[in-house]
């Protein structure tokens, strides 16, 4: 014969099952907080990566602009040469005293006629070596031209020599 208490104890154990199944309010709040923190971290990382990529693209464009300027000045190094094909540069008077040239470019790298429309400013200096038929070109490009145009500021410098006619 079974005792009456063992049956009652068993009934009490069955009745002690939790009334609610699922997450508590504390668990939900903690998980939402962790999710919000993760979103902020991911968005911040994407913004930082985007800025770095944008600045690298500007730096590459700036170097390309300087190379274009140097190439065009090489094409018009002889007196009486026609203007250069892309930038329309006229031949310089190569001398031992520096010849300075300032050019303005927009954010796409196209030549513009004033600082007002410019994003890049290129300063070029050309000198002739007094002892040889060499021309020395120094180029410096900076961006943005004016503060408040957005993006990170930067500058690049290049130097090259040309054999003059």
Q: Is the pLDDT of residue 5 over 60?
A: no
Is residue 12 in a domain? no
Is residue 3 in a domain? no
Is residue 75 in a domain? yes
Q: Is 71 helix (H, G, I), strand (E, B) or coil?
A: helix
> The whole model's pTM is what?
0.65
Q: What is the per-residue pLDDT across 63-109, written as a single tens digit (0 to 9) for each?
A: 999 999 989 988 888 888 899 888 888 888 888 888 899 999 998 99
Is residue 23 in a domain? no
**Residue-wise burial string across 7-23, b where 16 or more C-beta atoms lie within 10 A, e elsewhere:** eeeeeeeeeeeeeeeee
Is residue 18 in a domain? no
- What is the pLDDT at residue 93? 81
Picking from 120, 116, 90, 86, the residue whose alpha carbon sits closest to that of residue 103 is 120
**Position 52 confidence tier, pLDDT thresholds 50, 70, 90:** low
Is residue 1 in a domain? no
Is residue 108 in a domain? yes
Q: Is the pLDDT of residue 150 over 80?
A: no
- What is the pLDDT at residue 9? 55
- Which structural domain, as residue segments, surrounds residue 115? 34-163
Q: Is the pLDDT of residue 3 over 60?
A: no
Q: What total of structural domains would you count in the chain? A: 1
Q: Is the pLDDT of residue 149 over 70?
A: no
| Segment 121-147 mean pLDDT | 85
């Amino acid at each position: 014969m079974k005792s009456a208490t063992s049956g009652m104890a068993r009934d009490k154990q069955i009745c002690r099952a939790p009334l609610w199944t699922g997450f508590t309010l504390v668990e939900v709040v903690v998980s939402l907080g962790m999710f919000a923190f993760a979103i902020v971290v991911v968005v911040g990382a994407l913004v930082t990566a985007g800025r770095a990529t944008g600045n690298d693209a500007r730096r590459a464009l700036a170097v390309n602009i300087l190379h274009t300027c140097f190439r065009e000045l090489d094409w018009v190094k002889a007196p009486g040469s026609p203007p250069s094909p892309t930038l329309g540069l006229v031949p310089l008077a190569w001398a031992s005293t520096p010849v300075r040239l300032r050019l303005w470019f927009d954010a796409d790298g196209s030549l513009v006629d004033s600082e007002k429309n410019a994003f890049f400013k290129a300063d070029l200096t050309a000198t002739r070596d007094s002892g040889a038929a060499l021309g020395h070109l120094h180029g410096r490009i900076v961006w943005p031209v004016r503060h408040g145009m957005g993006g990170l500021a930067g500058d690049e410098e290049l130097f090259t020599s040309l054999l003059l006619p």
